[in-house]
Structure 1
Amino acid sequence: MKIAVICANGKAGRLITKEAVDRGLDVTAVVRNENKTVAPKAIVKDLYDLTAADLQGFDVVIDAFGAWAEDTLPQHGTSLKHLCDILSGTDTRLLVVGGAGSLYTDAEHTTRVADGPAFPDAFKPLAAAMGQALQELRARDDVRWTYISPAADFQADGERTGSYILGGEELTLNERGESVISYADYAIAMVDEAVKGDHIRQRISVIAA
């Protein structure tokens, strides 16, 4: 299986790349500058400069793009649109590192995590941008996408436990009443989905067991 990890030098990207390499998959890091991952191959190119030819032949493309500064938040939507456009009509699957703010907190799917009173104001613009990008992704029936939301508490330096709970559109809690997962365990879930391909054109979510 041939996998490309976009923005592989980022925190999530590096761990996803390592997880895939450790499983013996054929991994290519897509980075803007020097490849700082364990991937043996790299495409050194800005995400927005990628072409259909660059990604031809990959079974899975994993999008680990992230933007947090206010002026770059719209890039969540524009970068995802660009990737969808160049993968349009191909068999290549697109897996997206998503956000938790757009997960629903009710069975009717009318209220999201980001709508709750406890959601920090500082993160609302990010959640809104990522939520909008997800809505635009849902409209793409020409791309074999999967959007994977982490737990509400997404811990960059959390330990790798080797297990996780798979959820769907709604915020899921473990038996301790927590919505938490480490980047390392999230990487396991991401690579599992890359290998299995069980959730085409679906949003799923993962939390620590």
Structure 2
Amino acid sequence: MKIAVIAANGKEGKLVVEEALRRGHDVCAVVRGQNKTAAKKALVKDLFDLTPEDLAGFDVVVDAFGAWTPDALPQHSTSLKHLCDILSGTSTRLIVVGGAGSLYLNPEHTAQLADSPDFPDAFKPLAAAMGKALGELRQRDDVRWTYISPAADFQAEGERTGKYLLAGEELKPNDRGESIISYADFAIALLDEAERTSDAHIQQRISVVRA
């Protein structure tokens, strides 16, 4: 497959690139500056400057974009809208590296992780911004998107175990009561989803947790 990884220089982006290359895919790193990934192909361009021509011909586009400062948080919405507009009406899959704060805590989907008492206040603005972007993404029926949320404890330096559980809209602990996933295992789950031949998760949010 031909895969473009946007924000490939980020921690998750780099691991997605590595996992895709490990599986023999044709990978292009989309970066704003010097390519710092293992990919031999790179498109040096700001996400907001990307055009339909830039992403034409890719089977999968991975959106690993992240914004953390208060002034940049709205870019979770604007960047995702821009990518959807570019990919509108095409057969290209858009797989989004999402957030955990919007995962539901009950079957009625009335309570989210970000609303729980133990959710850190410092991460609430980020969770709100990512949740808003997901809500807007749900309105796009013209794009073949899949949004993947990590477990509550998303560990940048966590080990690559190669084992994970696939879940849906609700926060799902593993058999040990943990809600943990490493960036490396998340990359494995993402590539497994990219390689999926069925349309089971098109226009859906799914989630992953360490097995």
TM-score interval for Structure 1 and Structure 2 normalised by the shorter chain:
over 0.9
Distance of 1:29 and 1:164 partners within structure 2: 25
Aligned to 2:28: 28
Distance of 2:121 and 2:188 partners within structure 1: 30
The 3-state SS of whatever aligns with 2:170 is coil
Aligned to 2:74: 74
Alignment identity in percent? 74
Task: Note the C-alpha offset of 1:120.
Answer: 0.8
The 3-state SS of whatever aligns with 2:24 is coil
Distance of 2:8 and 2:36 partners within structure 1: 8
Distance of 2:2 and 2:165 partners within structure 1: 26
Normalised by the length of structure 1, the TM-score is: 0.99
Aligned to 2:46: 46
Residue 56 of structure 1 aligns with an amino acid whose one-letter code is A
Aligned to 1:141: 141
- 1:11-48 deviation digits (Å, cap 9, x = unpaired): 00000000000100010000001111011100000000
Give the total of aligned pairs: 209
The 3-state SS of whatever aligns with 1:185 is helix
Runs of 5+ unmatched residues, structure 1:
none
Residue of 192, 202, 205 corresponding to 1:203: 205
Alignment partner of 1:112 is 2:73: no
Aligned to 1:129: 129
- 1:160-192 deviation digits (Å, cap 9, x = unpaired): 001100000000000110000000000000011
Distance of 1:203 and 1:60 partners within structure 2: 16
Task: Note the C-alpha offset of 1:144.
Answer: 0.3
Aligned to 1:183: 183
Following TM superposition, the consecutive aligned residue runs of length 4 or more in structure 1 with deviations greater than 4 angstroms are: none
- 1:98-125 deviation digits (Å, cap 9, x = unpaired): 0000000000000000011111111100
Residue 119 of structure 1 aligns with an amino acid whose one-letter code is F
Runs of 5+ unmatched residues, structure 2:
none
Normalised by the length of structure 2, the TM-score is: 0.98
What is the RMSD of the two structures over their aligned residues, measured on CA atoms?
0.6
Aligned to 1:17: 17
The 3-state SS of whatever aligns with 1:117 is coil
Show the 5 A alignment for 1:164-183.
164-183=164-183
Distance of 1:122 and 1:81 partners within structure 2: 25
Alignment partner of 1:91 is 2:91: yes
Task: Note the C-alpha offset of 1:151.
Answer: 0.4
Aligned to 1:192: 192
Distance of 1:188 and 1:100 partners within structure 2: 17
Residue 70 of structure 2 aligns with an amino acid whose one-letter code is E
Alignment partner of 1:157 is 2:157: yes
Residue 78 of structure 2 aligns with an amino acid whose one-letter code is T
